[in-house]
Amino acid sequence: MISPLKNRWWPVAVALVLTFAAPGLAQNGASSKAAQPGASEPMSVDGRITVALQQVSAGRIRANIEKLVSFGTRSTISVQDPAASAAGRGVGAAREWIKSEFERYAKDCGGCLEVKTDSFTEPAADRIPKPTEITNVYAVLKGTDAESAKRIVLVTGHYDSRNSDILDTKGDAPGANDDGSGTAVSLECARVLSKLKFPATIIFLTVAGEEQGLNGSQHFAKMAKEQGWNIEAVLNNDIVGGDKSAEQDRAVVRVFSEGLPNAATEQEIRRIRSLGGENDSASRQLARYIADVGRAYDAGVKPVLVYRLDRYLRGGDHYSFNQQGFAAVRFTEFREDFHHQHQNVRTENGIEYGDLEKFVDFDYVARVARLNAATLASLASAPAPPASVHLLTKDLENDSTLTWERSPGGLASGYETLWRATTNPEWEHVEKVGNVTRATLKLSKDNVIFAVRAVDAQGHRSLPVVPVPER
C-alpha cells in the first residue's frame, strides 16, 4: 500500500529522503525532518471549532474563579448544610453554584445539556475525620448520532480546595489556581461547546475530594467502568492558572501521561516489555493527539508533553481514570509556585502565601480552555478509532501487514497508517490507505512503531490505535 518512493526513507539516511521527497507527498516531505518531533501533517482545521474557540472568554473565567474563591473554603470536609450553602460558604455552596451555572448553560442551549450529580458517602479515613458526603457535578452534551453517542470524551477539574492543614474545615482556602482554574475550564468548555452539536458525547465534570485522596474522581471513574461507559479520553485540568511568577512560561502548558498503563494485566505488561511498548499507552496516544490539536488550532498556548504520570510526589484525578483503564492526561501550568498552593493565606518574611486569584493569569486559563475545547470538539467530531487492530507476525518477513475492523458508528470514510522510529516521541509518517481494513507496508515491524486511525471526509481524526501482534 505504500509507494516505492516512500519506503526509501527507511532506513536510508535523512539526506536521501530530502532528495526523494516528491510533490503531493507532503507528509513524507515533512517527515524527512526526522529530528523534528511531530513533523507529520497536522489535522485539518474545522471552522466550527475555530469559531467556538473564539467564544472562550477570559472575563467569564475570571468571574467564575472569583465566584469559587468567594465561598471562603471549598474543603471537602467543610460545611455543606443548606444554611451554609445559602450563606455562601463551604463546599456545599460551591457545589450548588456550579450546578446552577451548568443549568444556566443548559437553558441557553435549549436544554442540550443534562446536568447531573454523583453523590456518595466517603467513609472516615486519614484525611476524612467522619463519613462525608461527596458530590461530583457534571453536564452531559449527548452526541447527536445514536451509535456515536455511546462514545464519551470528558474534561474535568476539582472544585474542592485546601490550605496548609488538610483537616482544616473552617479557615480560608481560596483555591483560585488549585483548582478553581480547572473547574473554570470545565465550565467554560461546557458553555462554548454546548452551542455546537457533535456525533459523540462530551461530559463536563467537576469533582470534589481530590485533596482528601482523589475520592470524587475514583467514585466517578469506577461508576463509569461498572456501567460500561465508553470513555475515549479524559482531560484533567489541575493548576492551569499560569501563576504570575517571573519564571513562568505562559506560552506552554504541560500535559502529563502515564507510560505503563496502570490497568495493564500481567500478560499485557509482558507484551509491552518484549515489544518496546512502554511509550504507547492509550493515554500517551491522547497526549500526542493534543499535540496535534495544538499545531492545528491557535489556542495561544502550546502543549509540552511530559512522558510521566504526574509530577514527583504528586497525584491527580486523571490517575483515577487510568486505574479503571481509561486514557487520561493531566494539564498543569509550566512552573508552579508552591507558596501559592496548599498554604494558609498569610505574609511571612515578605513572602505572600496562599492560592489567591491575584496570582492567576485569566488569559492563560482561557488559552488552556481553548486547547481543551479544541481537543474535546475534535474527538467528539471524529469517527471511533478502528477496532481490533492487529499486526501479523506469523511469518518472518520484512514487510508489515496491519489488519483492523471498521471504526464502529459509520463515520469513517477511510483509514491512515502511522509510524515512527522507536526513538521518536511523536508520529512521523502517515499513509492514507483508503476505506479498507488491511494494509501492507514496505517497512520492517522490527524497526518502527505502527498505529492505525480512522478519518472522516472532513479530515477529523480518531485517536490512533497501536496494533497487538497476531500469530
Non-local (6+) Cβ contacts of 178 within 8 A are 161, 238, 239, 241, 341, 342, 355
Contacts of 373 by beta carbon, 8 Å cutoff, 6+ apart: 49, 52, 53, 56, 188, 189, 192, 193
Instruction: Give per-residue burial for 249-278: e unless 16+ CB within 10 Å, then b.
Output: ebebbbbbbbbebbbbeeeeeeebeebebe
Q: Closest CB to Zn ion among 112 and 360? A: 360
Using the minimum distance from each CB to Zn ion, give the nearer residue, 181 or 248: 181
How far apart (Å, rounded) are the C-alpha atoms in residues 441 and 165?
58
Among residues 238 and 431, whose Cβ is nearest to Zn ion? 238
For residues 200 and 60, give the distance between their C-alpha atoms in angstroms, rounded to a whole number: 26
Dist CA 343 CA 337 (whole Å) = 11
Nearer of residues 280 and 333 to Zn ion, judged by Cβ: 333
Residues binding Zn ion (CB under 5 A): 178-179, 238
Nearest approach in angstroms of CB 338 to Zn ion is 12
The values of phi and psi at residue 205, to 5°, are -115, 145
Give least dist CB 346 to Zn ion, A.
20
**Residue 157 C-beta: closest distance to Zn ion, Å:** 8
Nearer to Zn ion, 237 or 323 (CB): 237
Closest contact distance (angstroms) between CB of 297 and Zn ion is 26
The nearest distance, CB 183 to Zn ion, in angstroms, is 10
Q: How far is the CB of 164 from Zn ion (least distance, A)?
A: 15
Nearer to Zn ion, 12 or 167 (CB): 167
- Shortest Cβ distance from residue 158 to Zn ion (Å)? 6
Cβ atoms of 245 and 335 within 8 Å: the answer is: yes
Nearer to Zn ion, 241 or 277 (CB): 241
Residue with smaller CB distance to Zn ion, 178 or 336: 178
Distance CA 296, CA 173 (A): 38
Cβ atoms of 134 and 215 within 8 Å: the answer is yes
- Longest Cα–Cα distance of the chain, Å, equals 74
Cell of residue 373, nine digits: 475545547
C-alpha cell at 261: 498503563
Closest CB to Zn ion among 179 and 188? 179
Cα 19 to chain centroid, rounded: 38
272 neighbors 407 (Cβ within 8 angstroms): no
Taking the complex as a whole, how short is the minimal distance between the CB of residue 185 and Zn ion, in angstroms? 12
Handedness of CA 296, 302, 304, 310 (dihedral sign): negative
Q: Smallest distance, Å, CB 121 to Zn ion?
A: 22
**Whole-Å CA distances, 59 to 82, 185, 271, 364:** 30, 12, 49, 11
Nearest approach in angstroms of CB 369 to Zn ion is 17
- Determine the distance from the C-alpha atom of residue 20 to the mean position of all C-alpha atoms in its chain, rounded to a whole number: 37
* Residue 252 beta carbon to Zn ion: minimum distance, rounded to whole angstroms: 19
CB closer to Zn ion, 46 vs 238: 238
Strand boundaries in 67-181, DSSP class E: 113-122, 132-141, 151-158
Taking the complex as a whole, the smallest distance from the CB of residue 455 to Zn ion amounts, in Å, to 36
In the chain, the amino acid numbered 28 is N
Q: Which is nearer to Zn ion, 157 or 383 (CB)?
A: 157
Distances (CA, A) of 227 to 121, 222, 231, 324: 19, 8, 11, 12
Nearer to Zn ion among residue 318 and residue 453 (C-beta): 318
384 within 8 A of 409, measured Cβ to Cβ: yes
